[in-house]
Amino acid sequence: MGRKIMFTGGGTAGHVTVNLALIPRFAEAGWKIHYIGSENGIEKQLTAPLEQLTYHGIATGKLRRYLDWQNVKDPFKVVKGVFQAYRLIQREKPNVIFSKGGFVSVPVVLGAWLNRVPVLIHESDLTPGLANRIAIPFASGVCTTFPETAQHLPSGKSHYVGAVIRDELRQGVASRGRAYCGLLPASEAADAAAAGAAGSSQTLGKTPQEQAAKADAAYSANPAKLVVSISGKSVDAAEPLAAMEEAERVETGGVKPVLLIMGGSLGSRAINKAVRSALGELTRKFSIVHLCGKGQVEPALETADYKQFEYINEQLPDVLAMSDIVLSRAGSNAIFEFLHLRKPMLLIPLTKAQSRGDQLLNADSFKSSGFCEVLHEEKVTPETLLAAIKDVYENRAAYIQRMEQEERRDTLSQLYELIVSSARE
């Protein structure tokens, strides 16, 4: 009988992507693969295309840090989930369980411990999240992305492996990304706009300039005064970009640079609002691909230079390949992928009020290494956003040079071997 592995992790895409990177390795090696997730979470959606695994949905409750009526009911869901996970593990008898964290993972780790099945946990952030902190005492070991994470773990349980990068991210093709997003060279886009885009559904409604008229009015009123401070440097947010635009259009054959905006798998209303307020200025310089989050696409804003998606999965490697700079939250998985792909980034981490502060630590770590610029959400306005994006783009060569000095580790192979060695016979 072949060896068997169970994966768990979910709630956000960040708690699934490492599993998605590992699953093909185990499938190639002939392992039977099972996944325990929530009954209707994003992990079920992301793993659905994978024919090589069997998915099991269990009851689970969210681990909240704030007062909510659901906090009364959710412990009962967790208890039910532990029982379901225990029965599943008892029946399937896996050799090992790999947990990527998230609230769904807690019942699975407890069920594995009750069945005496070894569990390896992966922690992406600099400090362990709440779900992993609960689960760590019941695990055999914890694989970390940051070496400093060992300071926050029990002695002997930490295994520093680095960031896990999915193989498919290295295989992106920029031309495929442009085709998927419908981005055209600037000259063709202007012709299409003048012709009404032949009735295309991608150009419905008002232009970004009209939607952002209120913000643009402030620029035209007194552009010389719109100087903001980014990391101690004064940057003119409204400085005309005509000279730089013209030089680069000659250099690139009329194709605008691409700004990829990612607010996380659940989206970010704060980032979305700021970006859309500044669209008039941003689309003068960039073609924008905006991953808005579920239910946050605004079709009326769509133009030849502003493309919106709730989420991109299979085509993400191609979209990343075509992107020149990235605006993103500061989740560990995502920012390490940008680092590996040498993508200059502007990070807007979740605030302390929105999270436990892990993204703030991640962003500070990357900024201290010279890989990114950081704009804190409480300071985000159309003006500061424009200035920060401009600063990252104009200094992109320096960011890339520093990224090139960072060693690329084969973390995926190292993690695979560690899981295999932890499996029971």
The binding site for UDP-N-acetyl-alpha-D-glucosamine comprises: 12-14, 166, 265, 359
The letter for the amino acid at 202 is Q
Separation CA 374–CA 388 (nearest Å):
8
Query: Quick one: angle between helices 382-394 and 269-277, nearest 10?
Result: 80
Burial class of 141 by CB neighbour count within 10 A (0 to 12, 13 to 18, 19+): buried
CA distances from 280 to 98, 217, 283, 363 (A): 46, 11, 6, 28
What does the buried/exposed string (b/e) look like for 216-252 if buried means 16 or more CB atoms within 10 Å of the residue's CB?
beebeeeeeebebebeeeebbbbbebeeebeebeeee
Separation CA 311–CA 298 (nearest Å):
14
CA distances from 122 to 105, 227, 351 (A): 11, 43, 23
DSSP β-ladder status, 258-262 and 233-236:
unpaired
Quote the tokens at residue 311: 């989420």
Residue with token string 């994470």 = 149
DSSP β-ladder status, 141-144 and 158-160:
parallel
User: E strands along 19-157, which residues?
Assistant: 32-38, 53-58, 96-99, 119-123, 141-144
Binding site, annotated residues: 12-14, 166, 265, 359
Radius of gyration of the chain (CA): 23
Separation CA 143–CA 157 (nearest Å):
8
Phi, psi of 290 (to 5 degrees): -120, 115
Other Cβ atoms closer than 10 A to 172:
18
Least Cα distance to 375 among 329, 421, 424 occurs for: 329
